Amino acid sequence: MSDDVGGSGGADEEWTGPLTFSEQLSDWLEADGTQTLGELGMVFGEKAFAVAVLLLMAPAALPLPTGGVTHVLEVVAILMGIEMVFGFPTIWLPRRWRQRPLGATMTGRALPRIIRMIRWLERFSRPRGAGALRTKTVRRLLGLVLIAFCLGALLAPPFSGLDTVPALGAVVVGLGIVLEDAVVLGVGVFLGIAGIVLDVVLGAAAVDLMRRLW
């Protein structure tokens, strides 16, 4: 008589559950072909805007030498925030931007570091305030927050490194949206506000110093 009562079939197969965000992002990064912003909507659905801002602001948040390309990425990130405010259902970009590869700096250096940070954060994160974060009103308000932080990074004094903190705030806010964790989002808001305050205070001090010298 067989011991296999009821025919368990795949009993030896281990079900690991749905992929985490870091696993999804890593799989997308390692997939064959060229990674572009236009693919985000197909891969990440309604959270594509937050993922796009996270990716676009990552080089400025680390920071990495990018030869000034971070300013272009910040402008595109601001566009993503504007589309969130107006409730766009999917990412809209000019075809040239939509099909442009993310580039070796982002895919080879920035994103692997961000993925490591996300994996660490996922150990402690859990859905908190997820229902509120899914509402259209909150998503539009978060679009305004992201616009402010991206502008803070864009308008920071050049070569000062002051764009790092508001950019990191935008990245962590994006993570809070993706992970549906209000605590992570709150940390991102704190970082972004602190970065903008630093920009204003230290920027004003630098201007005052230049006036005294000249």
User: Which tokens belong to 182?
Assistant: 């209000």
Question: What is the pLDDT, as a whole number, of residue 1?
Answer: 47
**Vertex 128 angle, CA 127 and 130, to 5°:** 75
The closest alpha carbon to 56, from 22, 90, 122, 105, belongs to 105
* pLDDT recorded at residue 5: 45
175 within domain boundaries: yes
Domain membership of residue 11 (yes or no) is no
Tell whether the torsion through CA atoms of 56, 77, 199 and 187 is positive or negative. Answer: negative
Would you state the pLDDT for residue 15? 42
Number of domains within the chain: 1
In a domain, 171, yes or no: yes
Domain range holding 159? 21-29+36-213
Does 1 reside within a domain? no
pTM, entire model:
0.84
Task: Provide the pLDDT for residue 63.
Answer: 67
Radius of gyration of the CA atoms of the chain, in A = 20
Task: State the pLDDT at residue 174.
Answer: 95
Please give the C-alpha separations between residue 191 and each of 72, 171, 194, 197, in angstroms, as whole numbers.
22, 10, 5, 10
Neighbouring residues of 178: CB distance < 8 A, sequence distance ≥ 6: 21, 44, 47, 50, 51, 54
Residue 7 lies inside a defined structural domain of this protein: no
Vertex 119: Cα angle to 116 and 124 (nearest 5)? 135
The residues facing 36 across adjacent strands are 101
| Confidence at residue 71, expressed as pLDDT on a 0 to 100 scale | 85
pLDDT at 98: 83
User: Is residue 14 a part of any domain in this protein?
Assistant: no
How is residue 110 annotated by DSSP? I
Tell me which residues of the chain have a pLDDT lower than 70. 1-17, 63-68, 159-160, 206-207, 210
Residue 41 falls inside a structural domain: yes
158 lies in a domain? yes
